[in-house]
Homo-oligomer: A and B are copies of this chain.
């Protein structure tokens, strides 16, 4: 990486935000753009909630909960307790501090501001020296066809704790949604040194971004190499339903299946040290790294490994 280089990351929530934080910490201020999945966004209790964007804002802003991965640190739950007392819906947990983002975002959306402008303002107020972009300012909603029929994403993910078997995934609205113009501009930027597909769930965190008309073409046309990091380590997902979902979708639960999912799109696949040897026959080059991010140092080390591999690829 040279001075003036730019990096663009595609990310969902928790797992993606870990690597986004690593990239953010090792890169010069202002050089990272994170394009976030908004297919998880939903309306709940009359509020517009953007879980992946908020996870990125809290993580890069240093406000994230140190263990649970979502929500804010030093959170309190008195709103939720009072809501329960009033007979309100409590299956989606909204902390007292977190709630401020939902109420303020909802107010500003209703006043006509685009989501990206609100997120940019929140990021500025949190002192974040990176650009966090919703994949689109248009509405896209991930829906899952399951044994219980078609389900809204959060109904599947939170309310039913990913229990129903997933047969098909759809991104309602994606066909008419426009990728955020700043994301497209960042992809075409000659200073772009790497495009990083974070170790998020490929099917429900990254695919919504890739489903936006023109996004895949912009990725392929970009001067920068595209590097995907495997969310699967030794046949298991670090967090969330990725492994279970792959099985339900009839895929082998391994890193190779993730790499094949991104076939034609990526220039490099970063797999865990545990898996790299088994990936020798893949069409795409594979780099082994320690992909389990437990400590802050793990996040930075993986970010360095990813960017280093991208740089070697360019030479």
Q: Which A positions have Cβ atoms within 8 angstroms of B?
A: 45-47, 72, 75-76, 78-83, 85-88, 95-101, 103-104, 106-107, 110, 121-122, 125-126
Other-chain contact of A45, B79, B86, B96, B104 (Cβ < 8 Å) = B104
Complex CA distance for A121 and B88, rounded to whole angstroms = 11
Shortest distance from the beta carbon of A63 to any chain B beta carbon, whole Å: 9
Please state if B78 and A97 are interface contacts (CB–CB under 8 Å).
Answer: yes
Please state if A100 and B86 are interface contacts (CB–CB under 8 Å).
Answer: yes
Please state if A79 and B82 are interface contacts (CB–CB under 8 Å).
Answer: no
Shortest distance from the beta carbon of A223 to any chain B beta carbon, whole Å: 36
Complex CA distance for A103 and B45, rounded to whole angstroms = 7
Complex CA distance for A76 and B82, rounded to whole angstroms = 12
* Residues in B whose Cβ lies below 8 Å from that of A99: 79, 82, 96, 99
Other-chain contact of A87, B76, B97, B106, B121 (Cβ < 8 Å) = B121
Q: A46-B110, A85-B126, A86-B104 are in contact. List 9 more A-B contacts (CB 8 A).
A: A47-B103, A75-B78, A76-B78, A78-B95, A79-B96, A79-B100, A80-B100, A85-B100, A87-B104
Given A76-B76, A78-B76, the answer on whether A83 and B100 have CB atoms closer than 8 Å is yes
Please state if B107 and A78 are interface contacts (CB–CB under 8 Å).
Answer: no
The interface residues of chain A, by DSSP majority, are classed as helix
| Copies of this chain | 2
Shortest distance from the beta carbon of A52 to any chain B beta carbon, whole Å: 18
Shortest distance from the beta carbon of A267 to any chain B beta carbon, whole Å: 38
Other-chain contact of A125, B87, B110, B121 (Cβ < 8 Å) = B87
Complex CA distance for A80 and B122, rounded to whole angstroms = 15
Given A46-B110, A110-B46, the answer on whether A104 and B88 have CB atoms closer than 8 Å is yes
Q: A98, A100, A101 — which one has the most chain B CB atoms within 10 A of its CB?
A: A100
